[in-house]
Structure formats: C-alpha cells, structure tokens
Amino acid sequence: MTHPILISPSILSADFARLGEEVRAIDEAGCDWIHIDVMDGHFVPNITIGPAVVKALRPHSQKPFDVHLMISPVDPYLDAFVQAGADIITVHPEAGPHIHRTVQHIKSLGVKAGVVLNPGTPAKMLDYLIDDVDLILVMSVNPGFGGQSFIENQLRKIEAIRKMIDKSGRDIRLQVDGGIDLTTAPRAIAAGADVLVAGTATFRGGQSAYADNIRQLRGG
C-alpha cells in the first residue's frame, strides 16, 4: 500500500518561548502532522513537556498531534495525553511491562497506536504486534536529544519493516525520526519510510523558511 510522504516536524526544535506561534507557523507552512516529543528524564536523558502543554497547543492547529512518549512507566499517562488532544500515540516496548496491552489501551481510547523501535531494538519485536498497530516509528538516533546524526544501519531495519508491513496487507505508516535532513530524507524514503520526523531541518532559517524546508524534505 503506497502512501504519500508526510512531514511531521518535531517541535523539540521550535522556539519554546513562543510554542503556540511556532505550531501555527508549521501548520500554515504545510506540515502534515505535528510531532510532540515527551521525555521524562528517566527513560531518556532529557525532560520536555507534559499533557498540560499538549492541551495548551491543541487550539493552535487542527493537524494530527503525533505524540511520541519517551516515558517510563508509560501506561499511567496514556489517558491524560489523549484527553489533552493527542491523535496518535507512539510508545516504546521497553517503557512498560506489557507492550501489547499498552497498544490495546491506546486504541481503546479512540486514537491511533504506534510502536517505537530504538536503534538497538530489532524489527523482530514487531512479530506479534504488527496486526494491532497503526504506525511503526524507527528511531535513527538514540532518543533523548534533538540534532543528532543519522545512524546508517537503521536503513536496513526500515527496509525489513517495510517488507513486514507489505506482507501484512495492513494500512500501517512507517515513520523515521532522527537526523532527518535533505541528505538522509530521500534515503529513508527509498528504504520504505512514508512519514518523516524532522526538527532541526524544519525549523532552521526562521518562520519564513518553514514552507520551503517542508517542501524540500518531502522531495518537492
């Protein structure tokens, strides 16, 4: 199943002093989703935002909020992020004791559920999850910080997961996050990705540059 390429800018690279304005700017610049990185200083070595900020941002865009939870334990916070306005929630298998149950709970809340694979997490982790997920996110850097360099061997994982998705026949998006720029974006797409998370590459140059940055990442 072929999908158009979607761009989901990571607001981790936005100006946090005017986050609502930044979300409106990337929306108007033509982004498809808005990627919100939630970090707890425990599961990953950084702290970002919680449900209250997601709720505060929700009126600034009608685009899907693509919320990536890098928190552990993750289960106690799922309801709060959905209530705050998340449309998609992605979680790590390592962030809770029972990933299948976590995915089922996300779906019971009426939003799309995704699984995130860190660079050291094998594609095989998806064997008994692929029938339940709407999105698979491959981390092409180790999670926790923006601005890192793309890890080359993740291209093989993207290719392997693309084959798994195609074999399943299900409508599953394949997202890549980490070190995505004008050099790595076409390589990730060629490997099978159809959603690109880009922070630094989207927000560089200020708001007047966002539309062109998004267009170039999409390959236009």
Tell me if 3 is assigned to a ligand binding site.
Answer: no
Residues 162, 177 contacting (CB under 8 angstroms): no
Any known ligand binding at 178? yes
Task: Identify the active-site residue in 32, 75, 134, 177.
Answer: 177
CA distances, 49 to each of 96, 170, 197 (Å) = 20, 32, 18
The one-digit pLDDT tens for each residue of the chain (220 residues) are 678 999 999 999 999 999 999 999 999 999 999 999 999 999 999 999 999 999 999 999 999 999 999 999 999 999 999 999 999 999 999 999 999 999 999 999 999 999 999 999 999 999 999 999 999 999 999 988 777 899 999 999 999 999 999 999 999 999 999 999 999 999 999 999 999 999 999 999 999 999 999 999 998 6
Q: What is the pLDDT of residue 147?
A: 75
At 204 the pLDDT is 96
Tokens 């390592």, residue?
94
Domains of the chain: 6-218 (3.20.20.70)
Mean of the per-residue pLDDT values of the chain: 96
pTM: predicted TM-score of the whole model, two decimal places: 0.96
The 10s digit of each residue's pLDDT in 85-139 is 999 999 999 999 999 999 999 999 999 999 999 999 999 999 999 999 999 999 9
State yes or no: is 177 an active-site residue.
Answer: yes
The pLDDT score that the predictor gives to residue 149 is 92
32 is annotated as an active-site residue: no
| Burial degree of 26 (CB within 10 A; 0-12, 13-18, 19+) | buried
